[in-house]
Amino acid sequence: MNRCPEIITEYMHEYLDGEILPEHKNILTVHLKFCADCRQHFQELEKSIALVKSISHVQAPTDFTQKVLMNLPKEKKKVSVKR
Amino acid sequence: MDEFVKSRIKQVRKGDQNAFGEIVELYKDKVFQLCFRMLGNSHEAEDISQEAFIRAYINIERYNIDRKFSTWLYRIATNLCIDRIRKKKPDYYLDAEVAGTEGLTLYSQIPASQLAPDEEVSKIELQEIIQNEILKLPEKYRAVIVLKYIEELPLLEISKILDLPIGTVKTRIHRGREALRKQLRHI
């Protein structure tokens, strides 16, 4: 890995951003076939993204909207008077 | 969606609070989730997301109706989260992660490679570990990672929310991904 050109890591990120040029993708694909260290690096990147995406989505508490509405200023100009 | 939201906002500007209620209903989960993943604590997340909607209401005249409403709203919420993170920074890493996640901080500080190989990590524990690793990111990386991978927003929208050039957003995402790779590789 240390001896590999840094550009390979950049291509990995271009790929992960979904913005890789076909020729860069070609270079990356070939290099990953030959270099186990870079392959591992790339797999670890993909895995960490998958893990982050996997955390289940949370929802706002049920009374959330009601609470917001209760705390809105009645008339915008009176905020400072009321509080 | 955009047309509907814009028509509601015109009503809000006329003083219709019920119309604002519809807006809150539409976006509450997204905004709460953003705050929860940024702050790692549901009480704080509720506080800050409530605050974000109230500020949006108070400042609704300043919203440019030709732009996407969610971008403006996420921007308010993200800025509030970042402010909150900065304010609590001195003791943040010592205290905040322990609250409500007993043992997790201690547990997650042990390099995963030292865990017994047969250790079963339950789904909920795994989610807590991942959340905790997100919280370890400096806020500038945390914000882009949450917006990109939790809220699943395009780079262009993230750059508008954070008011940063798209190149800067990309660099931060790259560094955030590398940091997460190092933190999560052994899980």
The whole model's pTM is what?
0.83
B43 touches chain A (CB under 8 A): no
* Cβ separation A59–B150 shorter than 8 A: no
pLDDT digits (tens, 9 = 90+) for A63-75: 999 999 999 987 6
With 60 as the cut, is the pLDDT of residue A80 above it? no
Nearest to B32 among A44, A64, A79 (CB): A64
The per-residue pLDDT for A20 is 96
Which chain B residues are closer than 8 Å to A55 by Cβ?
37, 127, 130-131, 150
Helix (H, G, I), strand (E, B) or coil at B122: coil
Higher local confidence (pLDDT), A41 or B2: A41
Report d(CA B38, CA B49) in Å as an integer. Answer: 11
Q: Is the pLDDT of residue A23 over 60?
A: yes
Domains (ranges, CATH) in chain B? 1-92+102-185 (1.10.1740.10)
Averaged pLDDT, A9-31: 96
Instruction: Walk along chain B (187 residues) and give the pLDDT tens digit of each residue.
Output: 788 999 999 999 999 999 999 999 999 999 999 999 999 999 999 999 999 999 999 999 999 999 999 999 999 999 999 999 998 865 544 444 444 444 444 334 444 444 555 555 677 888 999 999 999 999 999 999 999 999 999 999 999 999 999 999 999 999 999 999 999 998 8
B28, B31, B45, B75, B80 from B35: Cα distances, Å: 11, 6, 5, 11, 9
Is the pLDDT at A77 greater than 90? The verdict is no
Tell me the Ramachandran region of residue B16: left when phi exceeds 0, alpha when psi lies from -120 to 50, beta otherwise: beta
Q: Return the biggest CA–CA distance within chain A.
A: 71
Report which DSSP code applies to B147: I
**CB-defined contacts A:B, below 8 A:** 103
Mean pLDDT score of chain A: 88
- What pLDDT score does B73 carry? 97
Which residues on B lie below 8 Å from A16 (Cβ)?
A: 177
What's the token pair of residue B32?
């709460």
Give B89→chain A minimum CA distance, Å: 23
Question: Are B32 and A72 within 8 A, CB to CB?
Answer: no
Say what the pLDDT of residue B157 is.
97
- Residue contact B183–A13, C-beta within 8 A: no
Determine the Cα–Cα distance for residues B90 and B122; give it in Å rounded to an integer: 32
Answer yes or no: do A56 and B127 touch at CB < 8 A.
yes
> How does DSSP classify residue B185?
T
Q: How far is CA B50 from the centre of its chain?
A: 14
What confidence score (pLDDT) does residue A78 get?
A: 41
Residue-level pLDDT at B98: 42
Say yes or no: A53 contacts chain B, CB-CB below 8 A: yes
Inter-chain CB proximity B177 and A49 less than 8 Å = yes
Structure tokens of B108?
């997650």
The identity of residue B9, as a single letter, is: I
**What is this model's ipTM?**
0.84
Of B32, B49, B184, the CB nearest to A48: B184
**What whole-number percentage of chain A has pLDDT above 70?**
87
- CA-based nearest distance B98→chain A, Å: 19
Tracing tokens 């997301």 back to the chain, one arrives at: B49
